[in-house]
Structure 1
Amino acid sequence: FITAMMIAFFYAMMADLVGLSGIVGAFLAGVSMESVGLRHSKDLKEGAEYLQIIFASIFFVSLGILVDVHALTLDGIIFMLVLTGIAILTKVIGCAVPSRLIGMCTRDSLIVGFGMSPRGEVAMIVALIGLTGGIIGQDIYAGIVFMSLLTTISTPIVYRNWLYRKTPSIIEKTE
Structure 2
Amino acid sequence: ILLRIVVYFIFLAVIAFIVRKFFVGRKWGGKKRTAIFALAFCLAVSYASEEFFGIADITGAYFAGVMLSGTRKTTEYIFDCTNKMSYMFFSPIFFASIGIKTELAGLNGNLILFAVVLTAVAIITKIIGCGLGARLTGFKTYDSISIGLGMVSRGEVALIVAQKGSMAGLIAGTMFPAVVLVVIVTTLITPLLLKVGMKRQTPDNTEPPLPVGA
Query: TM-score, normalised on structure 2?
Result: 0.67
1:46 to 67, 76, 80: 80
1:88 to 123, 139, 143: 123
Distance 1:104 1:40 in 2: 36
Per-residue CA deviations over 1:48-104 (Å, capped at 9, x if unaligned) read 321232222332232123212222222212221222112111111111123234443
Residue aligning to 1:29: 64
> What is the number of equivalent residue pairs in this alignment?
164
State the Cα distance separating 1:40 from its structure 2 match: 5.6
Asked if 1:7 corresponds to 2:29, the answer is: no
* Alpha carbons 2:49, 2:55 under 8 Å: kept: yes
Inter-CA distance 107–65: structure 2 relative to 1 (3 Å threshold): farther
The structure 1 segments of at least 4 consecutive aligned residues displaced by more than 4 Å after TM superposition are none
Query: TM-score, normalised on structure 1?
Result: 0.80
* Alpha carbons 1:11, 1:25 under 8 Å: kept: yes
1:56 to 87, 91, 103: 91
Residue aligning to 1:154: 189
State the Cα distance separating 1:133 from its structure 2 match: 2.8
Q: Which ranges in structure 2 are unaligned for 5 or more consecutive residues?
A: 1-34, 201-214
* Alpha carbons 2:146, 2:198 under 8 Å: kept: no
**Which is worse superposed, 72-81 or 17-26?**
17-26
Paired amino acid for 2:184 = L
State the Cα distance separating 1:38 from its structure 2 match: 3.7
* Alpha carbons 2:49, 2:57 under 8 Å: kept: yes
State the Cα distance separating 1:12 from its structure 2 match: 1.3
* Alpha carbons 1:130, 1:136 under 8 Å: kept: yes
Distance 2:189 2:115 in 1: 14
Inter-CA distance 132–40: structure 2 relative to 1 (3 Å threshold): closer
State the Cα distance separating 1:107 from its structure 2 match: 3.4
Q: Quote the sequence identity (%).
A: 33
State the Cα distance separating 1:10 from its structure 2 match: 0.6
Inter-CA distance 71–2: structure 2 relative to 1 (3 Å threshold): same
Paired amino acid for 2:142 = R
Q: Report the RMSD for the aligned CA atoms in angstroms.
A: 2.3
